Amino acid sequence: MKLKKMVAWSLAAVMVTSSFIGSSAEESNETTQEDPIEVSVAIWNAEDGLNDPEDPIYKKLVEKTGVKLVPQNITWDDAGQKIQLWATNGQLPDIFVGDYVGTSFFTNWVDQGVIRALPENLDEYPNLKEYLKMEKAQAVKKDGKFYMIPRQTYGDITYSVQDRNVVYRWDLAQKAGVTKEPETYDEFRDMIKKIIEADPENKNISGMTQALPKLIDGFIYPYGGILTQKWVEKDGQFMPSYFAGDMQAAMQLARDMYQEGTIEKDIALAKLDTSKEKFLQGQNAAMVFAGSGPSWLYHEIGKDYEQLYGRKFYDDIKIAKLYPCADGNKYYFVDTESWSETYISSAVDDEKMAAICKLFDYLYSEEGRRLMFCGIEGEDYDLVDGKPVMKEGVVLGDKYTFKNPSSSIASLAIWDPASWDMESPSANPQEYRDLDVQRHQDAVENGTLPKYYDEVKYLSTPKKDTFVYETSDDLLQIMMGTDPVDEMIEDLMQKYEKKGLSEMLEEVNAAAKDAGIEIE
């Protein structure tokens, strides 16, 4: 295995090399300010990455930008509730992250003056200006202004298959008499049943859990051809895929799995730490997880598993393949090339806004990206022919507090490209990164990606902005319910009709026509 990796920085079309202005722009990021400007930030587990002010990567970031980051901590379990509360009571941090585009929160925050737009003239920040040419940023401008900065996740949409994966205990399956990896939903269910019945480790093992609430959606809804994050065309009109797909098939699958125990009874109560611990201790046969691909498993669970049991986690688990869905196609979870966004509080004054823009301009520069994902030049990597080559044995997550794997602070501007760019540095063993490649290849070669219309998803209309449908809550309610699935779906659709589903669709389709968006 090669320990030195040449890092490719072609982060999709919006991140082309020509967009980075050159050495003069890099030099302009040097700060002459003696006292850095404090900028409070809410991003997942920020405190874990910012608790050492002397951390070399963080110190260099402060030196280059003149910004001192102060965490206003959120976790994966409480982020949504905290940010919504802070937005209501005026306690938002200066910058915060979340997945709010396409929701009523985003529109309301703009209308109510909760968040602040970026300056209209971004000429002083050429890297930030170039980055904001991406489709998502342009599509959600309000009155010609940017009210958020997308956080790029992947090189293209097919890599979002990495965001929802099911990991299962293959070692226990073999002990239960399973000799072949499941190739269908039914075979998967049969395997889980056999593991539960055999209970090879005598731990009263349960069925599948999830690492976080709502992740089970990414396993269940594709069975009905539903892309919960997308708008599609059906019967000549645009509509959310949730209402266009085979809801009956998906909900019935969930109900059947829940009743037979292949989905555990307590799945609605799942939290990251407890779910990980239960799976680590062998109390669940499988788990749905999110993250930047299967390689995410190594730091999140794998290292602890190996320390606990003295054997390789990689050898004991498998990642569920893409299974044929109700109509025979292999649909998979699809999100976006830029999951989540960065927002700026309206309480930020002009001086702090300039500091924030300078910070992001640096993070979108060649030098800034190297600092975030390669570390210190000369210490962690060398430039060879203008590209960074990592030094052997360097593990940034172990070496620097700022790169603590539990914290997302280093990915404030963009997500670490290591899950999809195999030339980018990673602390994960190569066999785990190979799983990332296999997962993506499965989607590209065997998966089905329906036509979707993000330009409709990002449209803002009065009824669309206020129409809320809770795909996760609906799934749990019907999955755990006792009335027939078809009757519960009928009641559900009547509820949405009363909330104005048909009127909303009519309004959106009229707006799409006015905007020149056509069905392909």
* DSSP SS3 for 284: strand
pLDDT band, very low/low/confident/very high, at 19 (cuts 50, 70, 90):
very low
At residue 10, the pLDDT reads 38
Distance separating alpha carbons of residues 262 and 207, to the nearest angstrom: 4
Distance separating alpha carbons of residues 447 and 323, to the nearest angstrom: 9
The per-residue pLDDT for range 321-354, each reduced to its tens digit, is 999 999 999 999 998 888 899 999 999 999 999 9
pLDDT over 90 for what percent of the chain? 76
3-state secondary structure 335-359: CCCCCCEEEEECCCCHHHHHHHHHH
Distance separating alpha carbons of residues 397 and 286, to the nearest angstrom: 27
At residue 9, the pLDDT reads 40
Q: Is the dihedral of CA 305, 278, 209, 421 positive or negative?
A: negative
Q: Which residue has the tokens 């003149």?
A: 66
What pTM value is reported for the model?
Answer: 0.83
Which residue type, as a one-letter code, is found at position 210?
A: Q
- Range of lowest pLDDT (82-91, 166-175, 272-281): 272-281
Judging by beta carbons within 10 Å of its beta carbon (0-12, 13-18, 19+), is residue 89 exposed, middle or buried? Answer: exposed
The per-residue pLDDT of the chain, averaged, comes to: 91
Question: Average pLDDT in the 406-420 region?
Answer: 92
| Cβ atoms of 476 and 251 closer than 8 Å | no
Choice between 426 and 506, residue whose per-residue pLDDT is larger: 506
160 CB neighbour count, 10 Å cutoff: 24
Distance separating alpha carbons of residues 37 and 200, to the nearest angstrom: 57
- CA separation (Å) from 231 to 121, 210, 250, 451? 32, 26, 18, 9
Question: Average pLDDT in the 472-487 region?
Answer: 98
pLDDT band, very low/low/confident/very high, at 429 (cuts 50, 70, 90):
confident
Q: How far is CA 54 from the centre of its chain?
A: 30
At residue 33, the pLDDT reads 61
pLDDT of 17 over the 60 cut: no
pLDDT over 70 for what percent of the chain? 93
Q: Kindly report the backbone phi and psi dihedral angles of residue 66, in degrees, each rounded to the nearest multiple of 5, phi listed first.
A: 75, 20
pLDDT band, very low/low/confident/very high, at 311 (cuts 50, 70, 90):
very high
Distance separating alpha carbons of residues 381 and 389, to the nearest angstrom: 5
At residue 25, the pLDDT reads 42
Local structure of residue 15 (DSSP, 8 states) = G
Which residue type, as a one-letter code, is found at position 381?
A: Y
Residues 6+ apart with CB under 8 A from 118: 132, 145, 146, 147, 149, 344, 353, 357
* Structure tokens that stand for 163 in this block: 């965001």
Identify the H or E element spanning 206.
Answer: strand 206-210
DSSP string for 380-449? TEEEETTEEEEPTT--HHHH-GGG-TT--GGGSSS--GGGT-TTS--SS-HHHHHHHHHHHHHHHHH-B-
| Cβ atoms of 369 and 180 closer than 8 Å | no
Q: Which residues pair with 6 in a beta bridge?
A: 389
* DSSP SS3 for 254: helix
At residue 376, the pLDDT reads 96
- Range of lowest pLDDT (199-203, 264-268, 335-339, 449-453): 335-339
Distance separating alpha carbons of residues 42 and 167, to the nearest angstrom: 30
- CA separation (Å) from 272 to 43, 112, 210? 16, 33, 8
Both ends of the chain: CA-CA distance in Å?
Answer: 45
The per-residue pLDDT for range 33-55, each reduced to its tens digit, is 679 999 999 999 999 999 999 99
Choice between 299 and 470, residue whose per-residue pLDDT is larger: 470
pLDDT of 361 over the 50 cut: yes
pLDDT of 21 over the 60 cut: no
Question: Average pLDDT in the 495-513 region?
Answer: 97
Q: Please report which residue ranges of 9-162 form alpha helices under DSSP H.
A: 23-28, 46-50, 56-65, 79-89, 104-111, 126-131, 135-139
Cα pseudo-dihedral 78, 84, 90, 95, rounded to 10:
70
The per-residue pLDDT for range 201-253, each reduced to its tens digit, is 999 999 999 998 899 999 999 999 999 989 999 999 999 999 999 999 999 99
Distance separating alpha carbons of residues 164 and 296, to the nearest angstrom: 11
pLDDT band, very low/low/confident/very high, at 385 (cuts 50, 70, 90):
confident
At residue 18, the pLDDT reads 36
Q: How far is CA 490 from the centre of its chain?
A: 32
* Structure tokens that stand for 191 in this block: 């395997």
* Structure tokens that stand for 200 in this block: 């090879």
* DSSP SS3 for 18: helix
Question: Average pLDDT in the 411-423 region?
Answer: 88
Distance separating alpha carbons of residues 269 and 483, to the nearest angstrom: 22
Choice between 206 and 5, residue whose per-residue pLDDT is larger: 206
pLDDT of 116 over the 90 cut: yes
pLDDT of 122 over the 80 cut: yes
Question: Average pLDDT in the 109-117 region?
Answer: 96
At residue 383, the pLDDT reads 87
Residues 6+ apart with CB under 8 A from 421: 7, 8, 10, 11, 155
Strand 284-289 and strand 206-210: pairing?
parallel
Q: How far is CA 220 from the centre of its chain?
A: 18
